[in-house]
Structure 1
């Protein structure tokens, strides 16, 4: 009986810690914090990754955070993001970009040390695609 209570307590603590880290990663990490000297503690834990052209990629704790940067970084219109690494390969759903920052987070359960890459694809109005960023990060 005591072992079950200890196990339940431990599971609750682990879940609370994971939830707090995921929330911190999703709310405090930004491309701007990756370049400043005084990055928040959560950003240091998640190791800020690269930003390539218009796409930022952060990988930590079996999750990835993708940011399609706002402004005049890329044309308005339809996009999708292709992500691969660690034996996984996915094209995420098409979305419309209007110049505002777009952020996506997904679970990406791969071993520590796995290289993960993402590519931002613009869907040209006349057909075809053009790349607007290809960052990579180590989980």
Structure 2
């Protein structure tokens, strides 16, 4: 796992805390529509620890990614989108509404093993503009 712009010690500490948060908040998961196969998603999640930064978790394995917007009022309520890139791909996924419940999205992401994948969670500010609420990276 590699979180953009942070030292190795900070990433290690963040990884431990974020993994604990993900495990604790996984008890009340709200699942959004998924486009990747369930087995690929389960395999990606089973490969903990995942890349987690602020309010966004990213798992990458077996040509699939799982994105998790953490629950418990991790970030402001409202409209968000997630930007994902890596391995020659660059996609802004559709907007969705966050209401403090965990939101999960899974997608196929066919790139070679070892490719670094990054995702950024963007909050759509009511007065206009965007605000980042997480930028995790994970190796496929």
Q: Does the pair score TM above 0.5?
A: yes
Q: Residue 90 of structure 1 aligns to a residue in which SS?
A: strand
Say if 1:20 and 1:71 are closer, same or farther in 2 by CA, change over 3 A. closer
User: Using the alignment, how far apart are the partners of 1:88 and 1:23 within structure 2?
Assistant: 19
Deviation, structure 1 residue 82? 0.1
Aligned mate of 1:24, from 15, 29, 42:
42
Q: TM-score under structure 1 normalisation?
A: 0.70
Q: Which residue of 2 aligns with 1:14?
A: none
Q: Which residue of 1 aligns with 2:74?
A: 73
Tell me which stretches of 4 or more aligned residues in structure 1 moved more than 3 Å: none
Query: What is the root-mean-square deviation in Å for CA atoms of aligned residues?
Result: 1.5
Provide, for residues 36-90 of structure 1, a one-character-per-residue CA deviation record: whole Å limited to 9, x for no partner: xxxxxxx1xx343221000000000000000000012100000000000000000
Q: By percentage of residues, which structure has more strand? A: 2
Deviation, structure 1 residue 22? 2.0
Extract unaligned runs of 5+ from structure 2: 1-36
Say if 1:67 and 1:23 are closer, same or farther in 2 by CA, change over 3 A. closer
Report if the CA contact (8 A) 2:78-2:97 is conserved. Answer: yes
Q: Which residue of 2 aligns with 1:99?
A: 100
Extract unaligned runs of 5+ from structure 1: 1-18, 30-42
Say if 1:109 and 1:23 are closer, same or farther in 2 by CA, change over 3 A. closer
Q: TM-score under structure 2 normalisation?
A: 0.70
User: Using the alignment, how far apart are the partners of 2:85 and 2:38 within structure 1?
Assistant: 26
Say if 1:23 and 1:51 are closer, same or farther in 2 by CA, change over 3 A. closer
User: Using the alignment, how far apart are the partners of 1:98 and 1:25 within structure 2?
Assistant: 27
